């Protein structure tokens, strides 16, 4: 039975499933999951990410990480970690940019968290000179100071959706109608995790919660607070989730998320407030990606790289700079949040959120 048939049978026998169950099946099914079976990135794939747009993204993040590492006394050894590393491009750029930082490479233990065997193979090839190791879960990482980057990882984690119904909520479910997948609503019930959302939502509003994201943020923050380190988290989303942001991307355009299970990327916007309130470490102000990259010096770096380029390569480079930073492109939709120890200063490019003791 293929994935679509298995989903139909599951719903027919067990009843409607949550969005989170549907996302998990479509993205990570061992035989037909979207991520498990393919490399979806790049021009020939379904979407493109900041590190695939330009090497500048990883270079600047690498130098920010290395500066934080120096500021925290250059702990050795330390974990250089990335969940959801895609093709390994971001990590390769980080490693190239930090080559000249004395002691950084010697002290780094490269640890990747990747659910997709297909992408793990690509990462192994990209990073073969750096002896990466892989773990399945954050809490399997060695207990060391943690310097972590995550780009477009949290948006891939499964969300549940709830529609406001008076003082309660109805969960958005995926059901079967006329032998086709369709959205439906579960029964009205109170949801403890959404008690605080009764204050800022109106009848019919949709909110999303991502339990794995909060658990992962808590794990990362706990390690940073006790062992030192920093986490730089880039993704699309906002401070507080409001509205239906569940979407499917296929061939660089929007698709029907129920049409072809396993064939499209399914994501939801990241609720950065939920990450920030889960971490026991300090967190920065949530900052637009374009602003962080400007603060880290992307314009100077772009000009320097442009000197060596002519013709269409130069045009592409200028377009990539704009794409990463301009508010009409990735500059504002994408945001960045940093975690850092309460006793330390925020990393370069970030400001304290004012919640430190």
Q: How many CB atoms lie within 10 A of CB 137?
A: 12
Instruction: Determine, following the binding rule CB under 6 A, whether residue 115 of this chain makes contact with ligand SAH.
Output: yes
The residue range among 12-20, 146-154, 159-167, 317-325 that interacts with ligand SAH, by the rule CB under 6 A, is 146-154
Number of residues in the chain: 357
Instruction: Determine, following the binding rule CB under 6 A, whether residue 34 of this chain makes contact with ligand SAH.
Output: no
Among 16, 58, 62, 85, binds ligand SAH (CB under 6 A): 85
Q: Which is nearer to ligand SAH, 119 or 305 (CB)?
A: 119
Instruction: Determine, following the binding rule CB under 6 A, whether residue 152 of this chain makes contact with ligand SAH.
Output: yes
Tell me which residue of 112, 122, 84 sits closest to 265, measured CA to CA. 84
Instruction: Determine, following the binding rule CB under 6 A, whether residue 219 of this chain makes contact with ligand SAH.
Output: no
Instruction: Determine, following the binding rule CB under 6 A, whether residue 83 of this chain makes contact with ligand SAH.
Output: yes
The helix (H) or strand (E) run that includes residue 235 is strand 229-238
Instruction: Determine, following the binding rule CB under 6 A, whether residue 21 of this chain makes contact with ligand SAH.
Output: no
* Smallest gap from residue 346 Cβ to ligand SAH (A): 22
Among 29, 46, 114, 271, binds ligand SAH (CB under 6 A): 114
Q: Which is nearer to ligand SAH, 156 or 298 (CB)?
A: 156
Instruction: Determine, following the binding rule CB under 6 A, whether residue 116 of this chain makes contact with ligand SAH.
Output: yes
CA distances from 157 to 44, 107, 120, 215 (A): 23, 31, 18, 11
CA dist., res. 198 & res. 336, Å (int): 27
How far separated are the first and last CA of the chain, in Å rounded? 56
Give 7-63 as a DSSP string.
HHHHHHHH--EEHHHHHHHHHH-TTT-TTTT---BSTTSSB--HHHH-HHHHHHHHH
The helix (H) or strand (E) run that includes residue 305 is helix 298-307
Instruction: Determine, following the binding rule CB under 6 A, whether residue 113 of this chain makes contact with ligand SAH.
Output: yes
Tell me which residue of 26, 16, 20 sits closest to 181, measured CA to CA. 16
Among 41, 60, 97, 233, binds ligand SAH (CB under 6 A): 41
Q: Which is nearer to ligand SAH, 19 or 282 (CB)?
A: 19
Among 119, 159, 174, 207, binds ligand SAH (CB under 6 A): 119
Q: Directed axis angle between helix 298-307 and helix 55-71, to 10°? A: 130
Among 33, 62, 84, 349, binds ligand SAH (CB under 6 A): 84
Instruction: Determine, following the binding rule CB under 6 A, whether residue 69 of this chain makes contact with ligand SAH.
Output: no
Phi, psi torsion values for 65, nearest 5 degrees: -60, -45
DSSP state of 228: -
Q: Which is nearer to ligand SAH, 151 or 241 (CB)?
A: 151
* Smallest gap from residue 48 Cβ to ligand SAH (A): 8
Cis peptide before 288 (omega within 30 of 0): no
User: Using CB under 6 A, which residues numbered 317 to 336 contact ligand SAH?
Assistant: none
Instruction: Give the binding site for ligand SAH (CB under 6 A).
Output: 27, 35, 41, 49, 51-52, 83-86, 90, 113-116, 119, 151-153, 156-157
């Amino acid at each position: 039975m293929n994935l679509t048939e298995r989903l139909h049978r599951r719903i027919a026998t067990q009843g409607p499933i949550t969005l989170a169950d549907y996302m998990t099946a479509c993205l990570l099914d061992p035989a037909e999951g979207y991520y498990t079976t393919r490399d979806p990135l790049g021009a020939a794939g379904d979407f493109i990410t900041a590190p695939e747009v330009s090497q500048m993204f990883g270079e600047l993040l690498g130098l920010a990480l290395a500066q934080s590492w120096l500021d925290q006394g250059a702990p050795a050894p330390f974990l250089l970690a990335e969940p959801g590393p895609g093709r390994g491009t971001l990590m390769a750029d980080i490693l190239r940019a930090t080559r000249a930082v004395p002691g950084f490479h010697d002290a780094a233990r490269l640890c990747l968290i990747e659910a997709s065997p297909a992408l793990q193979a690509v990462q192994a090839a990209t990073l073969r000179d750096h002896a990466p190791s892989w773990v399945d879960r954050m809490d399997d990482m060695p207990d060391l100071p943690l310097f972590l980057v995550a780009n477009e990882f949290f948006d891939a984690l499964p969300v549940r959706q709830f529609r406001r119904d008076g003082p309660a909520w109805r969960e958005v479910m995926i059901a079967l109608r006329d032998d086709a997948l369709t959205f439906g609503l579960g029964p009205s019930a109170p949801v403890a995790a959404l008690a605080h959302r009764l204050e800022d939502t109106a009848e019919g509003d949709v909110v999303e919660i991502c339990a794995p994201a909060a658990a992962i943020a808590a794990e990362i923050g706990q390690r940073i607070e006790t062992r030192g380190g920093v986490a730089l988290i880039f993704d699309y989303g906002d401070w507080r989730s409001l509205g239906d942001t569940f979407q499917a991307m296929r061939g660089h355009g929007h698709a029907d998320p129920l049409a072809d299970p396993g064939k499209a990327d399914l994501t939801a916007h990241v609720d950065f407030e939920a990450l920030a309130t889960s971490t026991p470490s300090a967190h920065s102000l949530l900052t637009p990606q374009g602003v962080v990259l400007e603060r880290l010096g992307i314009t100077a770096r772009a000009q320097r790289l442009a000197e060596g380029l002519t013709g269409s390569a130069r045009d592409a480079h200028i377009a990539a700079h704009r794409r990463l930073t301009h508010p009409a492109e990735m500059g504002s939709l994408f945001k960045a949040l940093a975690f850092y120890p309460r006793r330390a200063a925020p990393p370069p490019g970030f400001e304290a959120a004012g919640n430190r003791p």
